[in-house]
Amino acid sequence: MPRRFEEDKLVVASHNPGKIREIAELLSRFPVDLVSAAELNLPEPEETGTTFEDNALIKAHAAAKASGLPALSDDSGFCVEALNGEPGVHSARWAGPDKDFARAMRNVEERLQMAGALEEDRRRAGFVAALALAWPDGHAETFDGRVDGIAVWPPRGDQGFGYDPIFKPDDHERTFGEMSADEKHGLDEYGDGLSHRARAFKKLVDACFDG
């Protein structure tokens, strides 16, 4: 059985303002005090994993150990089929040390152009998220989620963060960058959620928070 989360304080193991905001939105209905790794001045561990789950666990364990509190981390990425799944686990690295996702999105498009991926059926892509909830005693639970769609160009919308403006999910006409937070998460309308992070969160909540 998954371990229940029964504490009243949780570290969001991230220094990414957009990701911290989304996690806070997704946990807003629970009476838990959230504090980010950035607020606690925790160092960012080196993400040496080869999978999203590996990196999520690295970050969650590091934050739980450093803070003495349970920690929740997310590792997520944009995976483009014509680019052999890249940028994938290296999605943040494509933005460089200055977190320039406009440049990262241009890099995706340039590589798609080089691959001759001009038609929609050659531009299949997906967002993948892995969540890790870790406790200071070393125990951890992990959950994953994915949403598929296509990579569009030029970028559309200024909502969300990261690669959101170039991702249009299946059965929708707008990109994540054009959707409000409620639309992007889609928990009520879609049941299992729309975004990759919302789908992983639903599994987390069902296992560790609800009931």
Could you tell me the strand order of the sheet in which 9-12 lies? 33-36, 9-12, 71-80, 124-134, 140-151, 167-169
> Within the chain, what is the greatest distance between any pair of CA atoms?
52
pLDDT in tens, 3-30: 999 999 999 999 988 889 888 988 888 9
Tell me, what amino acid is at 80?
V
pLDDT for the residue 187: 65
Q: What does DSSP say about strands 167-169 and 140-151: parallel, antiparallel, or unpaired?
A: antiparallel
Q: Does 9-209 carry CATH code 1.10.357.10?
A: no
- pTM > 0.85: yes or no: yes
Domain coordinates of the chain in residue numbers? 9-209
Q: Catalogue the active-site residues.
A: 75
User: Contact at 8 Å (CB) between 16 and 161?
Assistant: yes
* Contact between 161 and 170 (Cβ < 8 Å): no
Q: What pLDDT is attached to residue 190?
A: 47
The answer to whether residues 12 and 37 touch, using CB atoms and an 8 Å cutoff, is yes
**What pLDDT, on the 0 to 100 scale, is given for residue 211?**
57
CA angle at 160 for the pair 178 and 42, rounded to the nearest 5°: 180
What confidence score (pLDDT) does residue 193 get?
84
Q: What kind and span of H or E run contains 196? A: helix 196-204
In this prediction, the residues of the chain whose per-residue pLDDT falls under 50 are 190
Q: Do residues 135 and 106 make contact, with C-beta atoms less than 8 angstroms apart?
A: no
What is the rounded distance in angstroms from the CA atom of residue 7 to the CA atom of residue 166?
38
Instruction: Give the integer Cα–Cα distance in Å for 111 and 3.
Output: 43
Structural tokens at position 101? 């996702």
